[in-house]
Amino acid sequence: MLAVRLLLDITHPAHLHFFRHLVTRMRREGHEVYLAGRHKDVLLELAAGYGLVLDAFGRARPGLFSLGREMVARQTRLVRIIRRFRPHAMMAVAGTFIALPGWLKRIPTYVFYDSEHATVSNLLSYPFATCVYVPRCYLGSIRWRHERYDGYQELAYLHPDRFTPDPSVLAEAGLAPGEPFTLVRFVAWAAGHDIGKAGLGLEQKVDAVRRLGRHGRVVISTEGELPDELESMRLRLEVTRIHHLMAHAALVFGEGATMMSEAAVLGVPSVYVNPLTAGTLEEQERQYGILFGFRPDDFEAAVVKAESILAAPAAERWRAIGRRIADEKIDVTELLYRVATERPYARA
């Protein structure tokens, strides 16, 4: 096999998880992989934890105007990198910044995504990509060249062939072995597809944590500030260890779509409270019954559902659902590897 030069544009911490195993395999086999990064949340800290070096430029800021400014600056920098690195192919999750430079420079560019509601981002990416890869359960149709695969993005890094939960993480988080706990996730509502949307209010967050705490410890992962009464519950853990902790939770509760889907493939039930949905989440609720989605207007019903799950522990049943998901879906990193090395739909 000829060596491949692959450029990855990684603009969110979850995207680093998605590509991490592909990077390791490609480099082990003698291929060159260039990682373009972005100052976003804990992305650089996460990369350092995995021993990966990102060429980081640009910073995520709220609002469409800020996105437009970053688009111009980031794409200009990416074109320079393309000229210097001369990639055979490029990849990204969402592809907001890389798809147009790939189209302009005639470099095969493959986009992977699962967020149907990111309409602005998708319009900036899908028309220019060589091919867009989406889960089979992706809602709606795509006008441009695309393929559907029978899997979830989270199975690129949480498939049981690639991930084994480490129980020592419990001590790192101040938890005892076997101690029931709920992992709560609050988001900042600052992404482009979050404009005009809102999640749980402050009083609702406090009320939810108080009621969930009656059934065991609560640890909170958040992108923003916490009220004083919840600060002591903030999760303080090395960033590469979050999935090990999640795998031992009795429940995941909150606003983060990615974390809810991660819980599902790990065999942990989740209660998702968010006005936005996705085909992945709907399938995990409808077909597997391990995720339960509610709008913020249905806050009371969401908390009641979470309390009912915690009141009737059924860890092995939930774990069995996680194993079923892995058995029925593909290992998504294998798909990434085939696309990177075989480069289907390459432009002449």
Write the pLDDT tens digit of every residue in 74-119.
999 999 999 999 999 999 999 999 999 999 999 999 999 999 989 8
Q: How many CB atoms lie within 10 A of CB 192?
A: 18
**Minimal CA–CA distance to 242: which of 27, 87, 16?**
16
Residue-level pLDDT at 209: 97
Cβ(346)–Cβ(145) under 8 Å? no
Q: Is the pLDDT of residue 189 over 50?
A: no
Which residue(s) pair with 92 in the sheet? 9, 111
Residue bearing the bigger pLDDT, 267 or 193: 267
The pTM of the full predicted model, rounded to 2 decimals, is 0.93
Mean pLDDT over 310-331 rounds to 97
Q: How confident is the model at residue 2 (pLDDT cuts 50, 70, 90)?
A: confident
Same fold: 5-151+331-342 with 169-328: yes
Q: Is the pLDDT of residue 193 over 70?
A: no
Domain boundaries, the chain: 5-151+331-342, 169-328
Q: How confident is the model at residue 68 (pLDDT cuts 50, 70, 90)?
A: confident
Q: Is the pLDDT of residue 198 over 80?
A: no
Q: Is the pLDDT of residue 345 over 80?
A: no
Cβ(112)–Cβ(93) under 8 Å? yes
Residue bearing the bigger pLDDT, 199 or 155: 155
Q: Assign domain 169-328 to its CATH architecture.
A: 3-Layer(aba) Sandwich (3.40)
The number of C-alpha atoms within 13 Å of 53 and in the hemisphere containing its C-beta is 3
Q: Is the pLDDT of residue 330 over 90?
A: yes
Name the token pair of 222. 């958040």
Residue-level pLDDT at 344: 47
Residue-level pLDDT at 342: 87
Dihedral sign from CA coordinates of 244, 279, 92, 3: positive
Mean pLDDT over 313-324 rounds to 97
The CATH class that applies to domain 5-151+331-342 reads alpha beta
Residue-level pLDDT at 282: 98
Q: How confident is the model at residue 59 (pLDDT cuts 50, 70, 90)?
A: confident
Bridging pattern class, strands 5-9 and 89-93: parallel
Residue-level pLDDT at 187: 86
Mean pLDDT of the chain: 93
Cβ(226)–Cβ(220) under 8 Å? yes
Name the token pair of 264. 């599902």
Residue-level pLDDT at 180: 96
